[in-house]
Amino acid sequence: MIKALVVDDEKLIRECLARTLRTEDVEVKTAASGEIAVELAKAESFDIVFLDMVMPGIDGGKTYAALKKIQNNARYVIVSGSPIGSFLETAKKDGIPIIRKPFDTDEIMAEVERLRQVKTAGI
């Protein structure tokens, strides 16, 4: 089973994304902030992380950097409604997919399917 972490300060987005993922048998944890996401990542492993960029406290770019140190092998997907500025270069360099809000659930599920294919292939 795939384990996902959804990090977004907007409750409605977190719940919608989590519900979408659960319909595809993905185990989901949610975090309302980067700080909570880092604590969750210290406690358990995730296969995929859906990460908002604009959040109070530590923003998405700093959250990504902290999570990457803890869970380097997770797949990261940026889900943001705002321009992501300088982090865009890091995202491109690291091959991080970027999904714009409002997101299409098909885009989200395509990322989960890519991960499933990689896990099945043992890559």
Strand-by-strand arrangement of the 48-51 sheet: 27-31, 3-7, 48-51, 75-80, 98-100
* pTM: predicted TM-score of the whole model, two decimal places: 0.92
Question: Structural domain of residue 13, as residue ranges?
Answer: 3-121
* Maximum distance among all Cα pairs of the chain, rounded to whole angstroms: 38
Query: Domain with 11 in it: what CATH number?
Result: 3.40.50.2300
Q: Respond yes or no on whether the N-terminal peptide bond of residue 102 is cis (omega within 30° of 0).
A: yes
Tens digit of each residue's pLDDT, the chain (123 residues): 999 999 999 999 999 999 999 999 999 999 999 999 999 999 999 999 999 988 999 998 899 999 999 999 999 999 988 766 667 777 878 889 988 888 899 999 999 999 999 888 875
Q: How much is the CA Rg of the chain, to the nearest whole Å?
A: 13
Task: Return all residues near 35 (Cβ < 8 A) that are at least 6 apart.
Answer: 57, 58
DSSP, collapsed to helix, strand or coil, labels residue 29 as strand
Count of domains in the chain? 1
